């Protein structure tokens, strides 16, 4: 069983002390990525629920490369201590309740080695009290508690209770922590040395709007808060009254912007963001404030003057911004499940760690088009439609992005109502071609636009645009596109529209005509078909490509795609058909209807009649490439709301002739999910299934785009160590410091070049001190050579006489 597709941006990541690794919370595990290559290095496995925060123990000095420890907290109510260079769990502390957020303010003053010494380490955790039912409106479920990490136990009482649990923010110095709770901002001062839990003092600030985030200045008493309308409030000199116990003598007028008797010197408001501010972050020297939100723009505020700089077009709402110990590297988490590594002063993106793209909401009228995913079964790839007009190719086996293809060249802005989107994507069976449909919705009936695009490429994921067809079915929506199976010589595709016709497209580059002067490459329409002007709701080719099935509302029609001849009309389902698929090695076809009267029907094509049917709401279907089995994903809404949280879907595996399912599995979050039979990965089969024949694996992807791949026939769970599949650890990369980190490496200077100069011949004469220095200065031999000769010449040679 392989799982993957976890969110990389559920909580803030953390850099290791040398800035070479990035610790990312991905579901129940912490994944460690290399910042230089963007590849996965290792994973920390141990938590049983989502990891909510990760804190690296800071170590300075040369040991920082060896010392790599971190604390993590999770929704399973535990706090763990890890050595992440070896991926070893060192210590576990149990808290009773799910931990939403954890900070360890005093961690900076505690060297990692001295944990066992007298100074104790305390963590502030924000928990969700699950003992209180959430039915009650007034229940205070959120609590901020204090844990002693050294003693592994809870100390002191509650710091505060709130309706919901909130993220805790801590200042870099560890002096303050704070949370936002609606229109209040709580700040606690933590005494640094000689910590005692009863010495924590609290102040409250009152902004006018609901706050969404806050940040502390690294050195001064400045706190910034962002609210849901996009304003940024900056309080300077907060807490002087309470924390420093100075009694201010100044009156109200001298505290501009401060409301009521809030404990601050001044409060300034900046407004640029149009939507909620998602993160605020002070640069390490405290001169700049970074802010970001739904617009996908980082705004850099100069703190003293309020001047702004922008980094626009990040393509998705921003969530977190974290800096690293390396001054020119930061990381930015985006809502589209991407983490960008940003080169700092210039704000260039140097690397992106991309997870699977998250689902986005189509406009209502397009709900029927269920082809949100396109699978490539042989390569184990999934093509996902993304919100920023791309198609993402994601390798299910390797759990990483392969590539992205920009379908519609438009600058993406995260907005509430979607007006332009990629509606459909289909891959040809050999993966060499792709077809996409992008839709522009009209404004009050004006300017709606549908574009069909055909792409070709040498291999999957690398496509270039080959043909653009504007308004293929005049202004009608396209309900389905499908490629014809078969070799590249028979490239043919069909698009069906709700306007009542379908078109068969052929790639003219495959049909060279003798004597044609200007061969125009690309796709063109070969034939148009319609049946009683009924809206065509689905289309598919049979496995051998000889029959084209097109659904016309409650019926479906069978066509010869080459001659465009109607062969047969079958069926009378109770509701419009949404999906048609042939069962590969048999004479059966499965149709799916949804909405008011859901139906799953299996049709026998030789008898032109219905074989069997169920009245169930089917979300997705997949058929095996060979053999006569198919799997469906069924939404189970019989249990009502009580069971909504957990398993709401069922996967059923059928043999086509038999209405009794072969196997069933219960799954979570089935709404908007998908199913596919994948050819087993070659690499996997060789190592893990010696001797067994090829049988395909079933991949299930849920509504949140998390997926699992398993063997539908295997009785025992096939456990595949995921670590075996992680990509190779990058080699120790050469380190750049000082000059080279800024300007790059200097070219190698060959020191030996000096030696190759031939020695200048000179003739020592009888009186060498006279001639030795004659000649032009650049011709003289080096002084080191001359010296001995010169000294020698000064000495008188005495002939020894032996007598």
Partner 1 sequence: MADQSKPFFSVESARKPSSRKPNSLTPESKFWRSFKNSEPTSNLILPVTSLDFSPNHPFDLAAACSTAVHLFDGSSLSPKSHSPLSSFTDVAYSPSFRCDGALLAAGGESGLVQVFNPLSSGQALRRLRAHSRPVRVVRFPRVADKLHLFSAGDDALLSYWDVSTESTLLSFPAAHRDYIRACSPSPITADVIATGSYDHSVKVWDVRMSPDSNQVCTFTHGNPVESVLFLPSGGLIATAGGNSVKIWDVIGGGRLLHTMESHNKTVTSICLGRVGNEGAGSCGESRILSVSIDGYLKVFDFAAFKITHTVRYPAQLLSVGFSPSGLSRVVGTSNGVIYVGKKKVKEVALEKVGGEIDRSLPEPEKRVLRPTHYRYFYRGQSEKPSESDHVVKKPKKVKLAEHDMLLKKFRHRDALVSALNTKRPNSIVAVLEELVARRKLLKSIENLDMNELGLLFRFLHRNATKPRYARFLMGLAKRVLEMRAKDVQSSEDLSFHVQNLKCMVKEELRIQRLLQEIQGMLSPLLVIAGR
Q: For binding to partner 1 (CB under 8 A), which residues are involved?
A: 313-315, 340, 343, 346, 348-352, 388, 406, 408-412, 417, 419-420, 440, 442-449, 464-468, 470-471, 474-475, 514-515, 517, 521-522, 743-747
Q: Is residue 293 within 8 Å of residue 317, measured between CB atoms? A: yes
CB of residue 170 to partner 1, shortest distance in Å: 30
Q: Is residue 97 within 8 Å of residue 125, measured between CB atoms? A: no
Return the number of the residue (213 or 467) whose C-beta is nearest partner 1. 467
CB of residue 387 to partner 1, shortest distance in Å: 13
CB of residue 464 to partner 1, shortest distance in Å: 6
CB of residue 291 to partner 1, shortest distance in Å: 18
Distance, CA of 363 to CA of 291 (rounded, Å): 30
Using alpha carbons, list the distances in angstroms from residue 586 to 539, 543, 614: 18, 9, 20
The two structure tokens encoding residue 638: 């019989």
Q: Is residue 600 within 8 Å of residue 652, measured between CB atoms? A: no
Provide the β-strand partners of residue 461: none
Return the number of the residue (105 or 499) whose C-beta is nearest partner 1. 499
Return the number of the residue (458 or 474) whose C-beta is nearest partner 1. 474
Distance, CA of 273 to CA of 294 (rounded, Å): 8
How large is the greatest C-alpha to C-alpha distance in the chain, in angstroms? 137
CB of residue 349 to partner 1, shortest distance in Å: 5
Beta carbons within 10 angstroms of residue 161's beta carbon: 14
Q: Is residue 216 within 8 Å of residue 176, measured between CB atoms? A: yes
CB of residue 173 to partner 1, shortest distance in Å: 33
CB of residue 186 to partner 1, shortest distance in Å: 37
Return the number of the residue (515 or 691) whose C-beta is nearest partner 1. 515
Return the number of the residue (470 or 756) whose C-beta is nearest partner 1. 470
Task: State phi, psi for 680 to the nearest 5 degrees.
Answer: -60, 140
CB neighbour class for 742 (10 Å; exposed up to 12, middle 13-18, buried from 19): exposed
Instruction: Order the strands of the 308-311 sheet from edge to edge.
Output: 277-282, 288-293, 298-302, 308-311
Return the number of the residue (248 or 447) whose C-beta is nearest partner 1. 447
Return the number of the residue (117 or 532) whose C-beta is nearest partner 1. 532
CB of residue 560 to partner 1, shortest distance in Å: 14
Return the number of the residue (564 or 658) whose C-beta is nearest partner 1. 564
Q: Is residue 619 within 8 Å of residue 635, measured between CB atoms? A: yes
Return the number of the residue (71 or 412) whose C-beta is nearest partner 1. 412
CB of residue 742 to partner 1, shortest distance in Å: 9
Element at 790 (helix H, strand E): helix 783-794
Query: Residue written as tokens 């047969």?
Result: 568
Return the number of the residue (515 or 640) whose C-beta is nearest partner 1. 515
Distance, CA of 739 to CA of 488 (rounded, Å): 54
Distance, CA of 697 to CA of 548 (rounded, Å): 27
CB of residue 538 to partner 1, shortest distance in Å: 26
CB of residue 195 to partner 1, shortest distance in Å: 44
Residue from 255, 258, 217, 263 nearest 238 by CA: 263
CB of residue 495 to partner 1, shortest distance in Å: 18
Which of helix, strand or coil describes residue 757?
coil
Instruction: Quote the DSSP letter at residue 446.
Output: B
Query: Residue written as tokens 């580059």?
Result: 509
Residue from 114, 120, 113, 104 nearest 152 by CA: 120
Return the number of the residue (109 or 465) whose C-beta is nearest partner 1. 465
CB of residue 406 to partner 1, shortest distance in Å: 8
Return the number of the residue (244 or 349) whose C-beta is nearest partner 1. 349
Q: What are the residues whose beta carbons fall under 8 Å from the beta carbon of 440, sequence distance 6 or more?
A: 419, 420, 447, 448, 449, 450, 451
Q: Is residue 41 within 8 Å of residue 34, measured between CB atoms? A: yes
Instruction: Quote the DSSP letter at residue 521.
Output: -
Q: Mark out the alpha helices in 640-767 (DSSP H runs).
A: 682-688, 722-725, 739-743
Return the number of the residue (243 or 279) whose C-beta is nearest partner 1. 279
CB of residue 251 to partner 1, shortest distance in Å: 43
Return the number of the residue (263 or 388) whose C-beta is nearest partner 1. 388
Positive or negative, the Cα torsion across 780, 782, 783, 784?
negative
Return the number of the residue (314 or 584) whose C-beta is nearest partner 1. 314
CB of residue 346 to partner 1, shortest distance in Å: 7
Q: What are the residues whose beta carbons fall under 8 Å from the beta carbon of 253, sequence distance 6 or more?
A: none
- What's 468-480 look like in SS3? EEECEEEECCEEE
Q: Is residue 26 within 8 Å of residue 52, measured between CB atoms? A: no
CB of residue 475 to partner 1, shortest distance in Å: 7
Return the number of the residue (458 or 784) whose C-beta is nearest partner 1. 458
CB of residue 272 to partner 1, shortest distance in Å: 13
Element at 528 (helix H, strand E): strand 523-529
The two structure tokens encoding residue 256: 């501009």
CB of residue 443 to partner 1, shortest distance in Å: 5
Return the number of the residue (19 or 46) whose C-beta is nearest partner 1. 19
Return the number of the residue (564 or 615) whose C-beta is nearest partner 1. 564
Residue from 272, 261, 197, 195 nearest 227 by CA: 272
Distance, CA of 464 to CA of 455 (rounded, Å): 5
Detail the DSSP E strand segments found in 545-659: 548-552, 555-560, 565-570, 577-582, 588-593, 599-604, 609-614, 618-623, 629-635, 649-655
Between vectors from CA 699 to CA 695 and to CA 703, what angle results, nearest 5°? 170
Question: What's the alpha-carbon Rg for the chain, to the nearest Å?
Answer: 34
């Amino acid at each position: 069983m392989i799982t993957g597709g976890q969110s990389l941006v559920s909580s803030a990541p953390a850099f290791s002390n040398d800035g070479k690794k990035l610790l990312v919370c991905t579901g129940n595990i912490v994944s460690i990525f290399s910042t230089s290559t963007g590849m996965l290095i290792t994973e920390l496995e141990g938590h049983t629920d989502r990891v909510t925060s990760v804190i690296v123990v800071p170590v300075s000095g040369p040991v920082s490369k060896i010392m790599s420890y971190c604390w993590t907290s999770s929704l399973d109510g535990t706090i763990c201590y890890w050595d992440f260079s070896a991926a070893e769990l060192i210590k576990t502390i149990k808290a009773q309740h799910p931990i939403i957020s954890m900070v360890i303010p005093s961690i900076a003053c505690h060297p990692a080695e001295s944990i066992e010494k007298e100074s104790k380490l305390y963590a502030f955790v924000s928990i969700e009290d699950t003992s209180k039912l959430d039915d009650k409106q007034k229940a205070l479920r959120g609590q901020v508690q204090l844990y002693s990490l050294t003693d592994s136990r809870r100390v002191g009482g509650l710091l505060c209770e709130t309706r919901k649990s909130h993220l805790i923010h801590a200042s870099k110095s560890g002096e303050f922590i704070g949370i936002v709770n609606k229109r209040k901002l709580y700040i606690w001062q933590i005494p640094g040395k000689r910590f005692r839990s009863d010495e924590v003092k609290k102040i409250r600030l009152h902004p006018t709007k609901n706050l969404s985030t806050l940040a502390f200045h690294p050195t001064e008493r400045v706190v910034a808060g962002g609210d849901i309308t996009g304003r940024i409030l900056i309080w300077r000199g907060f807490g002087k009254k309470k924390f420093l116990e100075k009694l201010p003598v100044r009156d109200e007028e001298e505290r501009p912007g401060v409301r009521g008797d809030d404990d601050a010197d001044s409060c300034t408001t900046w407004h640029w963001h149009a939507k909620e501010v998602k993160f605020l972050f002070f640069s390490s020297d405290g001169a700049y404030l970074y802010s970001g939100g739904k617009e996908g723009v980082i705004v850099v505020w100069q703190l003293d003057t309020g001047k702004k700089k922008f980094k626009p077009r990040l393509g998705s709402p921003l969530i977190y911004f974290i800096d690293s110990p390396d001054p020119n590297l930061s990381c930015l988490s985006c809502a589209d499940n991407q983490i960008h590594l940003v080169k700092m002063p210039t704000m260039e993106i140097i690397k992106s760690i991309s997870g699977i793209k998250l689902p986005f909401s189509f406009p209502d009228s397009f709900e029927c088009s269920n082809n949100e995913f396109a699978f490539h079964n042989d390569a184990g790839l999934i093509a996902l439609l993304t919100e920023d007009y791309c198609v993402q190719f994601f390798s299910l086996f390797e759990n990483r992005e392969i590539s992205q293809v920009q379908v519609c060249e438009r600058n993406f802005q995260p907005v509430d109502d979607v007006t332009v989107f990629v509606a459909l994507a289909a891959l040809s069976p050999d993966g060499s071609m792709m077809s996409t449909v992008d839709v522009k919705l009209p404004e009050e009936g004006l300017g709606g636009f549908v574009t069909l695009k055909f792409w070709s490429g040498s291999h999957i994921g690398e496509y270039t645009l080959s043909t653009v067809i504007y308004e293929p079915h005049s202004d009608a929506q396209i309900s389905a596109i499908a490629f014809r199976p078969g070799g590249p010589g028979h490239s043919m595709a069909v698009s069906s529209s709700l306007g009542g016709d379908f078109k068969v497209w052929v790639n003219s580059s495959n049909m060279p005509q003798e004597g044609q002067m200007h061969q125009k490459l690309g796709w063109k329409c070969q034939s148009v078909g319609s049946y009683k002007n009924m809206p065509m709701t689905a289309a598919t080719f049979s496995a051998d490509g000889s029959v084209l099935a097109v659904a016309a509302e409650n019926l479906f029609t069978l066509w010869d795609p080459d001659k465009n001849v109607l062969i047969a009309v079958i069926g009378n389902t109770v509701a419009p058909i949404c999906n048609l698929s042939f069962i590969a090695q048999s004479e059966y076809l499965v149709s799916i209807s949804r909405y008011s009267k859901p139906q799953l029907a299996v049709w026998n094509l030789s008898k032109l009649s219905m074989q069997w049917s169920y009245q169930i709401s089917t979300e997705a279907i997949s058929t095996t490439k060979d053999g006569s089995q198919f799997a469906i994903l069924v939404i189970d809404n019989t249990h009502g709301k009580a069971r909504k949280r957990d398993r709401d879907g069922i996967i059923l595996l059928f043999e086509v002739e038999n209405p009794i399912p072969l196997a069933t599995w219960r799954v979570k979050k089935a709404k908007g999910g998908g199913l596919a039979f994948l050819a087993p990965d070659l690499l996997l089969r060789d190592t893990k299934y010696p001797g067994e024949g090829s049988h395909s694996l079933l991949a299930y992807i849920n509504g949140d785009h998390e997926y699992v791949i398993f063997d539908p026939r295997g009785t025992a769970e096939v456990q595949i160590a995921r670590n075996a599949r992680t990509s190779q650890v990058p080699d120790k990369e050469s380190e750049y410091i000082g000059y080279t980190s800024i300007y790059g490496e200097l070219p190698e200077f060959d020191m030996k070049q000096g030696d190759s100069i031939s020695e200048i011949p000179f003739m020592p004469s009888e009186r060498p001190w006279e001639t030795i220095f004659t000649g032009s200065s650049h011709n003289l031999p080096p002084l080191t050579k001359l010296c001995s000769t010169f000294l020698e010449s000064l000495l008188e040679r005495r002939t020894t006489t032996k007598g």
